[in-house]
A = this chain, B = another copy of it.
Amino acid sequence: MVNHSHSPLCDKCSHINKIFCGLNIGKHNTIFEENKSVNYKKGMSIFSEGKYPTGIHIIHSGKVKIVKIGDEGKEQIVRFAKTGELLGYRALFGNHAYKASAIALNEVQICHISEKKFFNILSKNQYLYLNLLKKLSLDLGRAEDTILSISQKSAKERIAETIVSLYYKFGHDKNNSIDVQLTRKEIGNLAGTTIETTIRTLSNLKKEHLIELNGKQIVVKDMAGLMCTAHYENQ
């Protein structure tokens, strides 16, 4: 299933990773030189809900969805992560099993740092703590925004909001086509609704000339209108 490649060595991560960016070059090498990156194909899981963490993961390249499984096996996306982000540190700090799974959305390369090594690095680089605290704070803030949205907004508002979020999270090309490919089902569960409602709503947004749809590609035609529809407040 998993392809262990001996190159590239993951000192490359040091350049793409915001959280580790302050480490000096010498230290970089000691962190990453022994680590191998691991490749995951679309749909493969990087870690799974219920398992125990053995360290942290750094996304060398690619996009990942963090999902939880509900009672009837229905998947719920709680977050995305992309190149340069850390995964799995929450379970490590919380000292418990993973409470969600990480699934590759496309071809993903992951570097793994063992728990021991990670805490060792932490103890020597205090600002890393601050970076992690900041990251967790932002994630928690976003999660709470999501709670607010799902609780109080209509399906249409939530889907419009979801599109805006995806636009900012994953970026877009010069045509404003969002740089991520999700199924209708995934968009629906991001917005906390069913696939049918998602399809109907996307259709409506298209009719209102707010977006354009080309298969899985979503093109934002009228960001202001979308934000207005979403009652979007936060960046």
Interface residues of A (CB under 8 A from B): 68, 70-72, 74, 76, 78-79, 89-91, 93-96, 99-100, 123, 126, 129-130, 132-134, 136-141, 143-148, 150-153, 189, 192, 231, 233-234
Chain B residues near A123 (CB-CB < 8 A): 126
Copies per complex of this chain: 2
CB distance from A137 to the nearest CB of B (A): 4
In the docked arrangement, what's the CA distance between A123 and B127, Å? 9
Residues B134 and A136 in contact, CB atoms below 8 Å apart: no
Residues A147 and B78 in contact, CB atoms below 8 Å apart: yes
**Could you give 9 example pairs across A and B, Cβ below 8 Å?**
A70-B153, A74-B152, A76-B147, A79-B144, A89-B137, A93-B130, A99-B144, A139-B140, A150-B150
Residues B148 and A70 in contact, CB atoms below 8 Å apart: yes
In the docked arrangement, what's the CA distance between A134 and B89, Å? 10
**Which chain B residue has the least Cβ–Cβ distance from A74?**
B152
Residues B95 and A134 in contact, CB atoms below 8 Å apart: yes
In the docked arrangement, what's the CA distance between A72 and B153, Å? 10
CB distance from A18 to the nearest CB of B (A): 14
Residues B138 and A140 in contact, CB atoms below 8 Å apart: no
Residues A93 and B150 in contact, CB atoms below 8 Å apart: no
CB distance from A113 to the nearest CB of B (A): 16
In the docked arrangement, what's the CA distance between A152 and B86, Å? 27
Residues A144 and B68 in contact, CB atoms below 8 Å apart: yes
In the docked arrangement, what's the CA distance between A76 and B151, Å? 8
Chain B residues near A146 (CB-CB < 8 A): 143, 147
In the docked arrangement, what's the CA distance between A76 and B139, Å? 18
Q: Which of B95, B148, B192 contacts A151 (CB 8 A)?
A: B192
Residues B137 and A90 in contact, CB atoms below 8 Å apart: yes
Chain B residues near A76 (CB-CB < 8 A): 147-148, 151-152
Q: Which of B140, B189, B192 contacts A136 (CB 8 A)?
A: B140
Residues B137 and A147 in contact, CB atoms below 8 Å apart: no
Chain B residues near A152 (CB-CB < 8 A): 70-72, 74, 76
CB distance from A193 to the nearest CB of B (A): 8
**Which chain B residue has the least Cβ–Cβ distance from A92?**
B137
Q: Which of B72, B74, B93, B138 contacts A133 (CB 8 A)?
A: B93
Chain B residues near A99 (CB-CB < 8 A): 141, 144-145, 234
